[in-house]
Structure 1
Amino acid sequence: MGVRLILAEKPSVAKNIADALNIKSKKDGYFEGERYVITWAFGHLVELYDAKDYDGKMRSWKMDNFPFIPSEFKYKVKSNPRNRAQTDGGAAKQLKTIHALMKRNDVDEIISACDYDREGQLIADSIIYRGGVKPKVAVYRLLLNEWTQNEVLQGLENLQSNDRMKPLRDAGISRQWADWVIGINLTSVATLKYQQGKSKALNIGRVLLPTLKIIYDRDQEIENFKPEDYFKLTATFQTAANHEYEGTYVENKEDKFKKKELLEPINEVIQNKQAIITDKQVEKKKEFPPFLFNLSNLQGFITNKFKGWTSDKVLKVAQSLYEKKLITYPRTASTALEESLVGKTAHVLKVHSEELPYKDEMKFMKTKRVFNNAKVESHSAIIPTYMKPKRLSADEGIVYTAIKNRFIMQFMPIAEYEETKLTTKILDVDLSGVFHSKGKVQLVEGWKKVENIQSKDTLLPSVEKQERVQVSDSEVTSHVTKPPKHHTERTLLRVMETCGKSYQEDESEELMGSILTGFSIGTAATRAETIKKLKDIGYITTESKHLLCTELGKRLVTTFPVKDLFDLEFTGRLEKALSDIQKGKAGKQEFLRLVFHFTSESVETIKHGEDVIINKVTQTRATNEVVGTCPQCGGKVIDGYKAFSCNNRKQGCTFAIWKNDKYLASMRKKPTKTMVKKLLKDKKVFVKGLTSKKGKKFNAYLSYEKNKENDYYSWNMEFSK
């Protein structure tokens, strides 16, 4: 009996699999047991060639070089993120380890255990098939929704042939090639055409631009909004038992009036008049809990409820909970569970309900709201696993509690309330309208107990039809129509998820249908990244929770001539085509042909379009001044064009502090010459005016230190020396 080699997407997942199989022996780059060897990637270990890798002439950006579409797409080992001219040493070493393990004589099965999605399939296949699979070695796929021991052991009993994953791989490749071709060609040509100064690119992307357009459109709606005045008449009625209730004057089903003059005479004649309740309607209504979370809804919920959170942060925290075996796969678009998970879900509920004060009210039931195959696409909704967390960070606690509570709500009683509508008519006055009142009473709290959700209810006194009341007070109030609100991450995610289809409520079947057919902008996995990138490249900005277009973003929308790229329908169709490839309903050739044709046409459109400047980039000059001694090799650190870097770069020294450093940028800072000099001299520098995620200013000591595990440097922050 041979050895099975398992490839996980990350070291933490490999450790989960090793734990499930009770394998303790860790070697350099893998775990080894009797029957299993478990190794790992760090996400993508290979990437597509850059344009210049295909053809030396592409090193310089010239209009004549575009459109550039390779006849064959090639891959190379991942580049060092801090210096793209170099290969990432860690990735190269791990790739070598994986390929050596694949070639071992005792290995007769390879099991791909990367995430069960487009990207996970691409990561594993790009590594496995690059290594050259030996003729007698079978490649299998482990398809899991969580990394608990039970699931891992069960999954290894139910492996699928990796050949069956071809549609998933084709969708992953198609997405990757399409984004490369559109991004490389249109970003290059747009930068050449519309930008003054070339130190950075004018980013053009398939998902980036329609998302920008959603924010731009809302900003325009607000800017062009013309407020209108309207008036309402409200009366207070007193019952014989001295209880009071309010009513609003309604005429021809309308309670908002353009002219105050219509209401003022009515207000005068009803003073102290008697009135009669001509109609009373009481209706019992049910309130169902909101559906289980998919990723977009979870991101919307958390960013809306807690300050300082972004969609990107929610995904990172959820990913960490998933890798700790505490929740199921987070990058899902589904809000229901597969029907086959009924038994497992009942067990999870039992585990999490043990200590709850309302556990006697809970009842496990198989309902269509929770278990529904028609509403599940490749992954079920996010729920907790049967493992209870021992220790969670504050951020993990927020996300975990939201997921657990949403899960528990599904098995609590349905909330019920009573809604009462009254119609009150003024006596002895000839009015064509009546007064309407509405109130409700919560009868059953049900699932609302879980998060202690208080209903904002207007309570009406106990009155009967035909009862007489008296007007005790009344007033005409003036109001102004309000403009729509700026988008938040929550509202933006909803538009992206449904490709702009408007929705009224969670229940909308058409809406769920559009999500499940893949008609969206980006995927659950990529939307947060898109929003973050729009902020990073300066197309949008944030004001508290609101997202707004910057001047640069506005100029891009109004000037860039390839209008299809801003069109939600166009992008939705591309995403739908990728979804169809993934389901095996369409081939990748037709899709790629369409993308390549679109790219070539778009390049010509830009070339022959009007010459305008969308962006002016002020150049940062390289002074080449020596600012200190390199902590890595003792060389000289010089003030260069893109970084303060060691002049022994050609000899292999990688030390650099980049001028667009992401960590500093996240606190709205850039490294200055003075700051770097002090840092290199004293190993620490006091930096004033850093900005927190919540927008507050603070000061701190920063140091820039080499990591123990690899050759990279990272920042450390302290608040006292």
Structure 2
Amino acid sequence: MGKSLFIAEKPSVAQQFGAALGENLSRRDGYLEGEHMVITWCVGHLVTMSYPDVYDEKYKKWRLETLPFLPTEFKYEVISSSAKQYGIVTSLMKRDDVDTIYVCTDSGREGEYIYRLVEQMSGVTGKVRKRVWIDSQTEEEILRGVKEAKDLSEYDNLSDAAYLRAKEDYLMGINFSRLLSIRYGNSMANFLNEKYCVVSVGRVMTCVLGMIVRREREIRNFEKTPFYRVLAGVDVAGANLSMEWKAVVGSRYENSPLLYKENGFKEMASAVKLIEETLEMEPGSAVLDEERRIMGQAKGSIEKIEKKKEKKKPPLLYNLAELQNDCSKFFKISPDETLAVVQELYEKKLVTYPRTDARVLSTAVAKEIHKNIRGLLGIPGVRDYAQTILDQEMYKGLAKTRYVNDKQITDHYAIIPTGQGLSALKGLNSRAVYIYETIVRRFLAIFYPPAEYEKLNFTIKSGSEYFFASEKYLKEPGYLSLMEYSFRKKKTATADAKEAAAVDNGSEENEGEEDENLNINMAEVLAQIKKGDEVGIGSMQIKEGETSPPKRYNSGAMILAMENAGQLIEDEELRSQIKGSGIGTSATRAEILKKLVNNKYIALNKKTQIYTPTLQGEMIFDVVNASIPSLLNPELTASWEKGLTYVADGEITADEYMVKLENFIKQKTARVLANNNQYAMQGMYRAAAQYYKK
């Protein structure tokens, strides 16, 4: 009986397999060997696609007449810096005493591609090949993955998708970068006083650049609109409440052209007139003090008292995009930094596979979830919560909740703690420990009940006008009791109240100061009154606000916008309902943003984690928009990614996808070759340059 060869993606992963498989292994140069097995590793990619000049020397120089470059067969080569390890891996694959190869590279499209390239270049045949697909690097999961390993051929569709993704990026990058650099490079270089200028284009990268440039231009072109709200100081049962006027049904100003919105006027004079009418003052007699307040007397009556209970469920579990978004907010770190940390946590057995788009668990995992929870008893900060979940068996019935859905899982389920590897925490830096804590608390929260709020709404009527007040109280914290992160400062009661109000009344406008009624317990006031009771208005005030431009993308928001095909969906619940491949994948989005920064097409403020374009980035945007505008279309870019998913699922063939890709490149190349607008671009360059210091 021959030996089994296990091929991992990294040396550290190979060591995890060696420890789990329980054989006495000796260390050799580039591999481990025992009586029944050999374990080796890649070091990321060992093989890459060859540059065009390998096909023909004529492609070495960039010329329009050699485009489009569409080889009938693609060439590959060993990466020179990895040649030694490639030689070791392939020699082991060809050993006569090796009869079975276990593919243990990362369980995803890119991991599949890494191995398939090595196998293709080696030319090895006649071996049994098994695919190990695991969700964590715990001993139990590794052993399960090896035991249940399927024949590698069952992953051929995934392999096809991986090859196509690489070919697509390669062909679009080479053809369009050369095409646009030749056509527009000189005009850009002349404008920038540079010797030459390369227009680097990518299927996903250029689309993301477009999103950032468009947002910057929306901000520049935004014109602020002032508006004026009217507040009333109302005496209710001896308490003075600040209430806001709105032009609802029955108001003299309902649907009036004087309104900016139902709670504000376009002109201050309109707000002053409303106050005079309400306080029954002579027109033009109102005098505003420094706070734009007018004292007076008016009567009103209680029109409506409403109490509502609201529940807020624990959020869905983390996928990589959601975790990158929260880490951007919590720790001000970039998506690639978050991925590096969570990858380390994965390799130390602390969490499950990080490069996942799923935010739910599988039914199979839900059945054994108590093991993950039990493992967390070793963490002082969450021990009591984990113990409560176990003691009260709060994990039972999880499979029937929204946190478990086999249909929403493709390659991997959500990122959760394994409950193992806790000894590794001592060797981690504080940031890694905090990110681990973030994952742990999100995980444990799903077993706790919803947070319960009581919302109090109160309406008075004076004449034909209506004034409103509302407050929101947290009655039962539920899962929120778990979300006291050790790395965040505890909030004061006032801050909590303001945050609750902001969440409840989320607005795009900057409305100035907060209403000064947060210290009043409205519940106590409402207990003393009933509908129809008379109230007094003793003062009225005008608050000026102004509309706000859209926000620039920070690193977390950018990842979410990419995940949702260009839509920045702020609402966590709504995001969970939208299913799509998005722009790029969970494994590539951070790297794409990093490349844009390294190319100096965009800039990242490390303190705020906000992205802005550079002048060169804006110029490239204008060039692409004038030549191949579809590259800037998020929906189209997402559709390419969706097509790769169809290939992986076996819904379309690789040949069908390739025909579509080649036709796209031919059509776009022909359009650019027909253009002769490079000098007309100077006006666009100048328009962008005025916003940048020389």
Give TM-score scaled by structure 1 length. 0.79
Matched to 1:542, the amino acid is: L
Displacement of 1:504 after TM fit?
A: 6.3
Greater displacement, 265-274 / 253-262? 265-274
State which of 303, 307, 311 in structure 1 corresponds to 2:335: 311
Q: CA deviation at 1:166?
A: 0.4
| Equivalent position amino acid for 2:318 in 1 | F
How far off is 1:533 after superposition?
1.1
Partner of 1:649: none
Aligned partner of 1:550 in structure 2 is 614
Structure 1 residues 145-204: Cα deviation after superposition (integer angstroms, max 9, x where no partner) = 111101111111111000000000000000001111111111112112211367663201
- Quote how far apart the aligned CAs of 1:358 are: 4.1
Counterpart CA distance in 2 for 1:235 and 1:279 is 17
After the TM superposition, which residues 353-392 of structure 1 pair with which residues of structure 2 at under 5 Å, given as runs? 353=377, 355=380, 356-359=383-386, 362=389, 363-365=394-396, 366=398, 367-387=400-420, 388=422, 389-391=424-426, 392=428
**Taking structure 1 as reference, are residues 157 and 414 closer, same or farther at Cα in structure 2, changes over 3 Å only?**
same
1:214 matched to which residue of 2?
211
Counterpart for residue 97 of structure 2: 106
C-alpha root-mean-square deviation of aligned residues, in Å? Answer: 2.0
Q: How far 1:542 moved relative to its partner?
A: 2.7
Residue 380 of structure 1: how far off its partner (Å): 0.5
Map of 1:38 onto structure 2: 39
In structure 1, give the amino acid aligned to 2:243.
G
8 Å Cα contact 1:245-1:461 kept in structure 2: no
Contact (CA 8 Å) 2:300, 2:536: kept in 1 or not? yes
Of residues 288, 295, 301 in structure 2, which corresponds to 1:276? 301
Cα distance in 2, alignment partners of residues 447 and 272 from structure 1: 47
Q: Does 1:442 align with 2:474?
A: yes
Q: Which residue of 1 aligns with 2:652?
A: 586
Deviations 1:650-678 (Å, cap 9, x if unpaired)? xxxxxxxxxxxxxxxxxxxxxxxxxxxxx
> Which stretch shifts more, 551-560 or 5-14?
551-560
2:314 aligned residue = 289
Say if 1:3 and 1:109, in contact at 8 Å, map to a contact too.
yes
Report the residue type matching 1:571 in the other structure: T
Mean Cα deviation higher: 106-115 or 458-467 = 458-467
Q: Map of 1:48-127 to 2, 5 A cutoff?
A: 48-78=49-79, 87-88=80-81, 91-127=82-118
Residues 416-470 of structure 1 show CA distances to partners (whole Å, capped at 9, x for unaligned) of 01111111123xxx3x221111111111112112223863245524213234433
Contact 1:216 1:549 survives alignment (8 Å):
yes
Match of 1:165 among 146, 150, 155: 155
- Give the match for residue 245 of structure 1: 241
Q: Secondary structure at the match of 1:423?
A: strand
CA distance in 2: counterparts of 1:178 and 1:504, whole angstroms: 31
Residues 355 and 586, structure 2, Cα contact 8 Å, conserved in 1? yes
Distance in 1 (alpha carbons) for counterparts of 2:570 and 2:615: 32
1:133 pairs with 2:124: yes
Map 1:174-253 onto structure 2 (within 5 A): 174-196=164-186, 201-240=198-237, 242-252=238-248
For the structure 1 residues 150 and 28, does the alpha-carbon distance in structure 2 shift closer, same or farther, using more than 3 Å as the test?
A: same
Q: Which residue of 2 aligns with 1:350?
A: 374
Partner Cα distance (1:116, 1:56) in 2:
38
In structure 2, the residue matched to 1:267 is 275
- The AA in structure 2 aligned to 1:146 is S
Gaps of 5+ in 1: 79-86, 616-721
Shift, 1:227, TM fit: 1.2
Of 544, 552, 557, 1:486 maps to 552
Aligned to 2:287: none
Amino acid at match of 2:404: F
Which amino acid is 2:552 matched to? H
Query: Aligned partners of 1:360 and 1:3: how far apart in 2?
Result: 45
Match of 1:465 in 2: 530
Q: Counterpart amino acid of 2:176? A: L
Distance in structure 2 (CA, Å) of the matches to 1:390 and 1:495:
32
1:151 aligns with 2:141: yes
Q: Which residue of 1 aligns with 2:258?
A: none
Gaps of 5+ in 2: 190-194, 250-261, 280-295, 485-489, 501-517, 683-694
Q: Structure 2: how far apart are the matches of 1:348 and 1:9? A: 26
**2:101 aligns to what SS in structure 1?**
strand
Q: Is the 8 A contact 1:278 1:465 kept in 2?
A: no
Match of residue 256 from structure 1:
264
| Offset of residue 475 of structure 1 | 0.6
Which of 567, 592, 607 is equivalent to 2:633?
567
Assess if the C-alpha contact under 8 Å between 1:211 and 1:496 holds in 2: yes
- Give the Cα separation in 2 of the matches to 1:514 and 1:550: 32
1:536 matched to 2:624? The reply is no
Higher relative contact order, structure no. (Cα contacts within 8 Å, ≥ 6 residues apart): 2
Q: Which amino acid aligns with 1:306?
A: F
* Residue 609 in structure 1 maps to residue 675 in structure 2: yes
CA-to-partner distance for each residue in 1:400-421, whole Å, 9 max, x for gaps?
1111111111112211011111
CA contact (8 A) 2:564 2:578 kept: no
Letter in 1 for 2:598: D
* Bigger Cα displacement from structure 2, 199-208 vs 180-189: 199-208
| Displacement after TM superposition at 1:501 (Å) | 4.3
- Identity fraction in percent: 30
| Distance across 2 between alignment mates of 1:611 and 1:502 | 33
SS in 2 for 1:325: coil
Whole-angstrom CA distance in 2 between matches of 1:252 and 1:504: 28
The residue that corresponds to 2:358 in the other structure is 334
